[in-house]
Amino acid sequence: MESIYALLLGYALGSVPFGLILTRAFGAGDLRTIGSGSIGATNVLRTGRKGLAVGTLLLDAGKGALAVWLAAQWWPLAAPIAAFGAIVGHCFPVWLGFKGGKGVATALGIALALAWPVALACAAVWLAVVAVSRISSLGGMTATLAGPIAAWALGRPDLVLPLAGIALVVLWRHRANIARLSAGTEPRIGRKG
């Protein structure tokens, strides 16, 4: 039962669409009709409201971290299950017809709460990939894939499977980005189109 409770807690927290809430509250319109239609920080940035994008990034990361932290207080062994629930909730929120964000910020918050050294390794990978490629989606996917590898390398084999599951969800949500990367049409940071 603890695993079920943790999964439901994670899903409930993860499914709060902060990007949509912030853009509506501050008059930036319905985020689902802008850019990719995603509710995450990258799409919020497309509204031209950098402050809202930063707020979305922090809140999306925070909800992932909070889900793990609360589960760790109540059901310590089920914290990784709450983590998985949070990423599924963010990417597939019931309130929005299961069309949510792509999960990178939430995955970072989850990694911070599970094992901060793993999160730092993922953040370093993101920075390095984005610095070289100037492609945000590539950085996010690579950083998420680095999670289970970093967990193994840093002596947390218990987190390899949960972080691998999270990486698979994030990759699934990036299917269109992967297709554009293959076609050479994925937008670069600082360039239009």
Domain that holds residue 107: 2-183
Residue 48, both tokens: 């031209």
Residue 140 lies in a domain: yes
Inter-residue contact 170 to 105 (CB < 8 Å): no
* Residue 143 within any structural domain of the chain: yes
pLDDT at site 30: 85
Closest CA to 169 of 101, 122, 72: 101
Domain-embedded: residue 188: no
pLDDT higher than threshold 90 for residue 79:
yes
Confidence of residue 1 (pLDDT cuts 50, 70, 90): confident
Domain membership of residue 39 (yes or no) is yes
- The residue type of 156 is R
Look at residue 46 and tell me whether its pLDDT is greater than 90.
Answer: no
CA of residue 113 relative to chain centroid, distance: 13
How many other CB atoms are found less than 10 A from the CB of residue 131?
A: 10
* Residue 106, in any domain of the structure: yes
Q: What are the structure tokens assigned to 154, written together? A: 């840093």
**Domain presence at residue 193:** no
3 state DSSP class of 55 = helix
Task: State pLDDT tens for residues 134-193.
Answer: 998 999 999 999 999 999 999 999 999 999 999 999 999 999 999 999 998 888 876 654
Classify residue 190: in a domain, yes or no: no
Per the structure, the count of domains in the chain is 1
Give the mean pLDDT of 104-116.
96
pLDDT in the model for residue 190: 66
